[in-house]
Amino acid sequence: MDYRHGSHTKFSLHIHVVWITKYRKKVLKGELANFIRDIIREECSKMKVDILKGHVSKDHIHLLLSIPPQVTISRLVQQLKGKSSFKALSHFPELKKVFWGRHVWARGYFVHTRGNVTDEVIKMYIENQKHDDDDFQIEG
């Protein structure tokens, strides 16, 4: 497994994110699709988020991302959707006729974490560690 490193961290946080255009309009093609792709790349780079795989479909975006621990998913998606919407509406004035209210994207998004270790494996690992003090257990 490939781990990323921070000054005091070692991590592998991968997420799958999907969001759709408002009204599910199929407008993400040609120059606009390339423009949106470039903004996503730029914003991810600023936040030190690695794009492992991504695709701009006609009415939605799919991204598989590796994020550092200090980046929250909600803030990341807010940045990606907000910046791309603002810049696209500024650069392509004809979009304002399709998307009134200054929003290209529908509300919300889908996110899924990726991992190959189940909760049960982690629970067993913690349980099987040598404990000097059996009275100190954290369970919810």
What residues are annotated to the active site?
A: 125
List the one residue out of 79, 45, 65, 76 whose CA is nearest residue 112. 65
Taking CA atoms, 26 is separated from 7, 12, 98, 100, 139, in Å, by 43, 34, 11, 15, 48
Q: Which two tokens stand for residue 22?
A: 């408002």
List the one residue out of 75, 46, 49 whose CA is nearest residue 64. 49
List the one residue out of 100, 101, 80 whose CA is nearest residue 19. 80
